[in-house]
Amino acid sequence: MALTQTRPYEEDLHVQLNPGDEGYVAPDDLMFLLDNQNFDRPKRIAWSSIAGGGTGSHIERDTLTGLSSRSVTVEFDAAFTSQPVGDVWVYRMEEVVSGMWRRKDVLWGFSSENQPTTTGFSLAIDESEDLSGIIIQYVFV
């Protein structure tokens, strides 16, 4: 029997199916390669052992555009058990030279010092900012 050796980047992407579908793999059975210069060989790690991994993972993320108000309130789909970790980016795209774009920060702030909460967050965009073209992205785990 011949051994075919491949690199992880050469393999097909895994698409997680719904429980009960043919080919579904339970999160606890998923493995990832882990490498470090101090390892003789790569090691594997179970998804369930990664912080927030497995069936207990909770991620809240979205991209908001087309704002009609300077006050933005986001309510998470499900509450976190403790204050989530993550970030919010508020920006607009700006053409710096012909054909080259970058993010330009927009002046904004949370509505209170206790943000985000376990159920969401609120922010306000400064009066000096035009609302057109503003993009809000957030990710919390």
d(CA 94, CA 96): 6
Block mean pLDDT (10 aa), the chain, length 141: 68 73 78 75 74 63 96 94 91 93 95 92 97 95 87
DSSP assignment of 17-30? --TTSTT---GGG-
Residue 54: predicted pLDDT: 47
One-letter amino acid for residue 52 of the chain: G
Q: Which domains does the chain have, with CATH numbers?
A: 8-54 (no CATH), 58-140 (2.60.40)
Residue 77: predicted pLDDT: 92
Give the single-character DSSP code of 54.
G
Q: Report pTM.
A: 0.61
* Those residues with Cβ within 8 angstroms of residue 107's Cβ, 6 or more apart along the chain or in another chain: 125, 126, 128, 129
Q: Is the CB of residue 80 less than 8 Å from the CB of residue 86? A: no
Enclosing H/E stretch for 123? strand 120-125
Residue 52: predicted pLDDT: 52
| 113-114-119-125 Cα dihedral, nearest 10 degrees | 0
